[in-house]
Amino acid sequence: MDCRQWYVPMLGGLNITVMLGGRSAEREISLRSGAAVAQALRELGHIVHELDPGDGNWTLPAGTDVVFLALHGAYGEDGTVQAQLDALGVPYTGCDAESSRVAFDKLLAKQRFVAAGVPTPRYTVVESAGASWPMGWAPPVVLKPARQGSSVGLQFVERVSDWADALAEAFRYDTKVLVEEKVAGREVTVGILDEMPLPVVEVRPKSGRYDYRSKYTAGATEYLCPAPFDQETTRRIQAAGLAAFRAIGGRDYARVDMIVRPDGQPMVLEVNTLPGMTETSLLPKAAAAAGLSYPALCQRMVELALRRSGRVANLVRRG
């Protein structure tokens, strides 16, 4: 798929505030994403302010046309900052407050997937760090804090004897933990941009586990884009990604993570409404494979927000 076939002319000279950092466990990654976005937008000729809402007591710079959200984790991805910006009447990039809230809560997202018929691994929820092994389940399973991102607190349980320690670790990050069947297969991710799935990225962690360390340690993971699947399997993966995006009510863009079983069946794990935005992050990799450069991707995200707000025509006249 070639993004150049639907890309629109760029608006220049905007007053953009990039929100980065924040208070979550993913603060350092957010700072890196935001710095990369800010640099790209400045290179395009925009006036760019960087705003770190670390203490929650923040004010937008005067004259802000649009906010670029480069926040990750709680506060940034759970709908909180989106609701605050809605109250201010300022357009911002990415999903709205409600879809962000749903996607960030793995239990709510799972419920939406099931209701929409999106293929997803079997799951249950545990609400006590002292809970016993769930009835009717066999290892291996994956434990995920219900409201965390970027594999924070992720635990793989290969034996029942590992359950107690793994559960205690997962509960360090939330009061609810999702227990999910561990699906064998190839790990992939699909970016969605303006209702269109981007080329599939295959993720091959050298450790065999795509956890926090594999994500953010240089050289720990190999990425293949476009992923080496046949045409029909690729179509199936992209369709599942778009279906998951729509199931949570997504808008503008997101990244959908999946496991593809040996029979070619994709199983959706989660939707990331504010995916990593460093130049080597997975969504920019997929956009590049579709012919969209990193600065052009950032610009496109801004223009989607402005188009939705109805401000594009006014800004064109102003320019």
Same domain, 113 and 176: no
Please count the structural domains in the chain: 3
Mean pLDDT confidence for 144-159: 86
Query: Residue 27 domain-assigned?
Result: yes
Catalytically annotated residues: 26, 150, 216, 255, 257, 270, 272, 276
CA dihedral 219, 221, 222, 223 (to 10 degrees): -120
Same domain, 225 and 207: yes
In the predicted model, is pLDDT for residue 109 greater than 60?
Answer: yes
Q: What is the pLDDT of residue 7?
A: 46
pTM of the model: 0.89
Domain co-membership, 86 together with 108:
no
Single residue among 166, 181, 196 that ends a domain in this structure: 181
Q: Note down the domain range covering 172.
A: 123-181
pLDDT score, position 211: 54
219 and 108: one domain? yes
Q: Residue 116: is its pLDDT beyond 90?
A: yes
Stretch 89-103: mean pLDDT, rounded? 97
Model confidence pLDDT, tens digit, residues 38-49: 999 999 999 999
Q: What pLDDT is recorded for position 310?
A: 76
Clarify whether residues 240 and 112 are in a common domain.
yes
pLDDT, tens digit, for every residue of 228-268? 999 999 999 999 999 999 999 999 999 999 999 999 999 99
**Average pLDDT, integer, range 22-47:** 94
Please give the pLDDT value at position 309: 79
| Residue-wise pLDDT tens digits, 185-223 | 999 999 999 999 999 999 997 766 655 555 555 666 899
CATH code (residue 150): 3.30.1490.20
Confidence tier at 9 by pLDDT (50, 70, 90): very low
